[in-house]
Amino acid sequence: MLKNRIIPCLDVKNGRVVKGINFVDLKDAGDPVEQAKIYSDGGADEICFLDITASNENRNTIFDVVEKTSKKCFVPLTVGGGIRSVEDINRLLNCGADKVSINTAAVENSKVVIDSSKKFGSQCIVVAIDAKKNGDKWEVFTHGGRNNSGIDAIEYVKQMEENGAGELLVTSMDRDGTQVGYDIDLMSKISSRVNIPIIASGGVGNLDHLVEGIKLGKASAVLAASIFHYGKYSVKEAKEYLDSKGIPVRI
Amino acid sequence: MNVTIVDYNSGNISSVINSFKEVAKDKVNIEVTSDLNKIKSSDKVVLPGQGSFKSCVDALNNIDGLTDILNELTMINKKPLLGICVGLQMFADIGYEETETKGLGWIAGKVSKIDNQNGKFKLPHIGWNQINIIKDSKIFKDINNNSHMYFVHSYEFIPEDKNVISATIDYSSNIVCSVEKENIFGTQFHPEKSDKIGLKIINNFISL
């Protein structure tokens, strides 16, 4: 039986973890490689890096981080943030990323998803969607949530599936950072609209939210950042909790 | 000993390289190459594969003489070969991804799209699934039945001779996830991404 995945996400800026795990025995709390290793040793099903480096001159730092991490972590590694072109994707994959998550570029230039999924295979192309509710629909935002494209998210995901996306990473902007739980309505609508797996993101504050994301939101995987970073729960605790609620997880 | 990972532009193989180097340490030399002479002189061969069946077969055929060398190594010299993901699928006679494409024909059978039962099952099949070991395979030494492996694929290999199947998974139906035929081994899952248990499989292959 296929298991639901738990994916901790690390925000990386200029090659350093911005929000990290606060462990006393951590040699270097800002080292993304060390933090990713802790997660993979703790049973994370995948690791996600979100590069939030703002300046172009520091963009290269993520490549070094990915290269080092992929030599130490032997679970899938997804990298997102700042990916503009097929060449950017090529470089990340060559550094050892297993998948890339494409956000703004997927909206602005549909060829990026079409061409990269043809070249590298759909299995490594994740389209990330930042969606915000407006009336009775959700709109797709770009540039880290700053620009409203006005595109209807539910229509957009279907197009992304057709363009060759292998997975969708769906973030509710209304819920992100609130810790009140995923936008279940958004997740389940998107999940039933497409036949590719979706990863739910944005709003997790406790372990019941993970359960809801899978059971009600019909997500194949759940992504969370802060509940793991601040040591509120470990990945292992999260998995044991999901297991106790009858959700199939890898333990 | 030399283990060669065949680099034939089949997509992203850095994770395969990293995992084999991690397991091999200094005991075994891991070569990553498309050089025919180097492949010919290697003791063991790894055939990775990402993307579509057709794109991988095309990439193999794009390197003059590569399939001949692989045929010779596996069919005549009987050198151990491990195919991973589409690398395994290419053992088949024929694949139906994108268009009908001839495979290597090492193990009679075909590669078809997984039946998603009208959308009941998501495709690609992505994530961790438990393997059901149905035959003793040398690469499963010290691997427990029902171990979790990492998968990402939409197509399945259907061999004619069921005796080659060493493990299956349950996803919409019983899907072949590992084969062994004499010196030829293949995994539909990615041992290089399957955590410690995956590295053990790689170690088993290296230690053959």
Closest residue on chain A to B196 (Cα): A74
Among A180-184, A210-214, A228-232, B182-186, the range scoring the smallest mean pLDDT is A228-232
Please tell me the predicted confidence (pLDDT) of residue A25: 54
Q: Is B125 on the interface with A (CB under 8 A)?
A: yes
Q: Enter the tokens of residue B85.
A: 């993901």
Which of the residues A45, A51, A88, A130 is marked catalytic?
A: A130
Tell which CATH architecture fits domain B2-206.
Answer: 3-Layer(aba) Sandwich (3.40)
Asked if the model's pLDDT at residue B76 lies above 70, the reply is yes
Q: Which of B123, B129, B198 is facing A3, going by the closest CB pair?
A: B129
Cross-chain Cβ contact B127/A120 below 8 Å: no
Confidence of residue A231 (pLDDT cuts 50, 70, 90): confident
Best B10, B14, B20 member to test A by mutation, with max A CBs in 10 Å, is B14
pLDDT tens digit string along A46-91?
999 999 887 777 888 999 999 999 999 999 999 999 999 999 999 9
What is the mean predicted confidence (pLDDT) over B17-22? 96
What is d(CA B95, CA A112) in angstroms, rounded to the nearest whole number?
Answer: 27
Nearest CB neighbour to A121, from listed B52, B119, B196: B52
What is the rounded average pLDDT for all residues in chain A?
93
pLDDT at A24 over 70: no
C-alpha distance from B128 to closest chain A C-alpha (Å): 6
Euclidean distance between CA atoms B59 and B186, whole angstroms: 19
Q: Specify the residue for token string 């292998």.
A: A166
Quick check: A155 pLDDT over 90?
yes
Q: Are A6 and A44 within 8 A, CB to CB?
A: yes
pLDDT at A229: 81
Give pLDDT, residue A26.
Answer: 54
Quick check: A23 pLDDT over 60?
no
Judging contacts by C-beta atoms under 8 Å, the chain B residues touching residue A123 are 50-51, 124, 126, 152-153
Write down the pLDDT at residue A57.
76
Which residues on chain B are in Cβ contact (under 8 Å) with A221?
Answer: 127
Distance CA A128, CA A83 (A): 11
Contacts of B200 in chain A (CB under 8 A): none
- Stretch A108-117: mean pLDDT: 96
Q: What is the number of residues in chain B?
A: 208
Angle in degrees, CA B100, B104, B106, rounded to 5: 125
User: d(Cα B15, Cα A241) in Å, to the nearest integer?
Assistant: 31
* Chain A residue with Cα closest to B155: A123
Mutation for A interface: B17, B89, B128, most A CBs within 10 A = B128
- For residue B82, pLDDT over 60 is answered with yes
To the nearest whole angstrom, how far is the Cα of B171 from the nearest Cα of chain A?
A: 6
Percent of chain B topping pLDDT 90: 93
Position A21 scores a pLDDT of 52
User: What's the confidence (pLDDT) of residue A56?
Assistant: 74
A43, closest residue in chain B (CA to CA) = B195
- The first and second tokens of residue B83, run together, are 């195919």
**Contact yes or no for A223/A201 (Cβ under 8 A):** yes
CB contact under 8 A, B50 and A124: yes
Mutate to test the interface with A, among B131, B152, B202 (most CBs of A within 10 A): B152
Using the Cβ of B129 and the Cβ atoms of chain A, whether some distance falls under 8 Å is answered with yes
Weakest-pLDDT range from A58-62, A123-127, A192-196, B48-52: A58-62
A-B CB pairs within 8 A amount to 103
Residue B177 DSSP symbol: E
Report the distance separating Cα B83 and Cα B49, nearest Å.
Answer: 8
B7 and chain A in contact, CB less than 8 A: no
Shortest alpha-carbon distance between residue A198 and chain B (Å): 9
| C-alpha to C-alpha distances, B142 to A75, B16, B145, B201, nearest whole angstrom | 20, 21, 9, 9
Q: What span, in angstroms and rounded, lies between the C-alpha atoms of A36 and A27?
A: 13
A28-42, A128-142, B120-134: the lowest-pLDDT one:
A28-42
Note the pLDDT of residue B12.
Answer: 83
pTM value > 0.90: yes
SS3 A68: helix
Q: Which whole number is the average pLDDT over A96-104?
A: 96
Domain A5-244 has CATH 1.10.10.10: no
B53 CB-contact burial (10 Å; exposed 0-12 / middle 13-18 / buried 19+): buried
Q: Residue B47 pLDDT more than 80? A: yes
Structure tokens at A152: 């209807």
pLDDT at A19: 63
Query: Residue ranges per domain, chain B?
Result: 2-206
Which of A94, A97, A221 lies at the smallest CB-CB distance from B127?
A221
Shortest CA distance to A161 belongs to which of A116, A114, A216?
A: A114
> Any idea which of B47-51, B65-69, B104-108, B176-180 has the lowest mean pLDDT?
B47-51
- Say yes or no for a CB contact (<8 Å) between A95 and B14: yes
Tell me which of A55 and A127 has the higher pLDDT: A127
Would you say B90 and B49 are in contact if contact means Cβ atoms under 8 Å apart?
yes
